[in-house]
Amino acid sequence: MSAARLIGPLILLSLASCAQHYRGSVVDRHGNPVPYARVEGHGMHHAFPLGEGLFVHSTVADATGHFDLVSEDWPSEIVAASPDSRHTGQILLSVAQPPYVITIR
């Protein structure tokens, strides 16, 4: 097999294993930070060797409502929930710009 035929799959495999950081904050409808909100990135795997399938990566915001979600996959949305899970909000990564601000209602 030629070197050129090996390079493409190796590049795709290396890109698939690069962790991305999605940083931002969680606020309530008045713009106040929501400490310790649960933050989840949702999406679909579309890369070899994992195949296609759902994934969820999660983290918890700090005391000031800031989060750093780390994912080797590319989420399509980030969802946040208040610590008591009574209030939620989401952003679509196709339209949102970093740093991400998620307003929970």
CA-to-CA dists, residue 16 to 9, 11, 76, 100, angstroms: 10, 9, 15, 23
d(CA 42, CA 32) in angstroms, rounded, equals 25
**Reported confidence tier of residue 83, pLDDT bands at 50, 70, 90:** very high
Please report, rounded to a whole number, the percentage of residues in the chain having pLDDT higher than 70. Answer: 78
Q: Which CATH number belongs to the domain containing residue 10 in this structure? A: 2.60.40.1120
Predicted confidence (pLDDT) at residue 4 exceeds the cutoff of 80: no
pLDDT in tens, 36-81: 999 999 998 765 555 677 899 999 999 999 999 999 888 999 999 9
- Read off the pLDDT of each residue in 18-36 and give the average, rounded to a whole number: 96
Instruction: Give the pair of three-digit tokens for residue 9.
Output: 């799959």
Look up the pTM and report it. Answer: 0.78
The count of structural domains within the chain is 1
Which bin fits 13, alpha (ψ -120 to 50), beta or left (φ > 0)? Answer: alpha
Q: The domain containing residue 67 runs over which residues? A: 3-104
